[in-house]
């Protein structure tokens, strides 16, 4: 497989704050990677480094290019969305299409117009006349008509209700993503993107604390619900986390013997949200 992003010793400081602490990671082509972490963990700084929007120390290659010195060439193959619902209120649909067509060399106008033909949007309609759902449709049509090799999404559905958030990710999968494209997404609504991810990275205090593919999550991590009489045995196995539900204890383990866990109670795969909470314990204290 070809690496789309390779980082080695990636380091970034803001005065006395360490945003990225000698980070190493590799993102392969044709993957959907969730970069998940609490506020201030370094997510946005990592994305800015990948996009050539901030300086840094260490080595970083994106699509075979150095973001610091080859950003113009890099951005011909990259698309970035920070907030899918933000477009100038005075902008007309046709003006938005004209703008992107003149800015991005890999924009396909006919593809964009084909997407918009499925909606109720008209060429002269202004953003201020649209519902949030219509704005999502317009933004998606613009993005999905760009044949970018790398799509970077930083909290793309912030402020949208659950219907529009689901529509956004469903359209992304059905109409945009293929084996030649790579998507990096950050979001606090982890449970909503879990089903689309191929890879997972947790970042905390500027360090990558988990970097794995979703198949390995099910093989490596397990939750078991145990009754009170077996709780002490479970605790002796050093679980990552313990929580109480309806008078029973749920323990989350990393790499524990599956047969041993099954002898104590019901075993299941943890959700990304549960795994995140266990990994980040103490961060929000």
- Which domains, from first to last, does the chain contain? 3-205 (3.40.50.300), 217-279 (3.30.70)
pLDDT band at 285 (very low <50, low <70, confident <90, very high): very low
Tell me: pLDDT of 162 over 70. Answer: yes
Query: What is the 8-class DSSP label of residue 195?
Result: G
Distance CA 226, CA 5 (A): 42
Q: pLDDT tens digits, residue range 94-137?
A: 999 999 999 888 999 999 999 899 889 999 999 999 988 888 88
DSSP 3-state of 138: helix
Which stretches does DSSP call E strand in 92-206? 150-154, 182-186, 199-204
Tell me: pLDDT of 188 over 90. Answer: no
The answer for 66, left when phi > 0, alpha when psi is -120 to 50, beta otherwise, is: beta
Distance CA 262, CA 176 (A): 41
Contact at 8 Å (CB) between 276 and 186?
no
pTM: 0.88
Query: Residues with Cβ < 8 Å from 185, sequence gap 6 or more?
Result: 32, 33, 34, 35, 152, 153, 156, 193
DSSP 3-state of 36: strand
Angle in degrees, 0-180, between the axes of helices 109-117 and 93-103, rounded to the nearest 10: 150
């Amino acid at each position: 497989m070809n690496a789309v992003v390779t980082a080695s010793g990636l380091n970034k400081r803001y005065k006395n704050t360490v945003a990225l602490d000698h980070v190493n990671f590799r993102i392969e082509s044709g993957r959907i990677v969730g970069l998940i972490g609490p506020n201030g963990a370094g997510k946005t700084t990592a994305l800015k480094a990948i996009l050539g929007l901030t300086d840094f120390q260490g080595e970083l290659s994106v699509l075979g290019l150095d973001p610091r010195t080859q950003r113009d060439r890099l951005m011909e193959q990259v698309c970035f969305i920070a907030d899918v619902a933000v477009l100038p209120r005075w902008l007309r649909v046709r003006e938005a299409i004209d703008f992107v067509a003149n800015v991005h060399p890999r924009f396909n106008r006919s593809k964009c117009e084909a997407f918009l033909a499925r909606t109720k949007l008209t060429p002269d309609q202004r953003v201020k006349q649209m519902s949030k759902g219509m704005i999502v449709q317009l933004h998606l049509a613009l993005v999905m008509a760009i044949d970018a090799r790398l799509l970077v999404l930083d909290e793309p559905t912030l402020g949208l209700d659950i219907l529009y958030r689901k529509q956004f990710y469903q359209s992304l999968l059905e109409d945009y993503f293929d084996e030649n494209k790579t998507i990096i997404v950050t979001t606090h609504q982890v449970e909503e993107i879990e089903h689309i991810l191929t890879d997972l990275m947790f970042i905390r205090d500027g360090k990558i604390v988990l970097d794995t593919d979703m198949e390995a999550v099910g093989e490596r991590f397990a939750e078991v619900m145990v009754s009170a009489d077996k709780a002490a045995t479970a605790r002796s196995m050093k679980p990552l986390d313990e929580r109480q539900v309806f008078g029973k204890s749920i323990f989350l383990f990393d790499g524990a013997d599956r047969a041993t866990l099954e002898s104590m109670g019901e075993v299941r795969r943890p959700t990304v949200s549960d795994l995140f909470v266990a990994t980040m314990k103490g961060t929000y204290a």
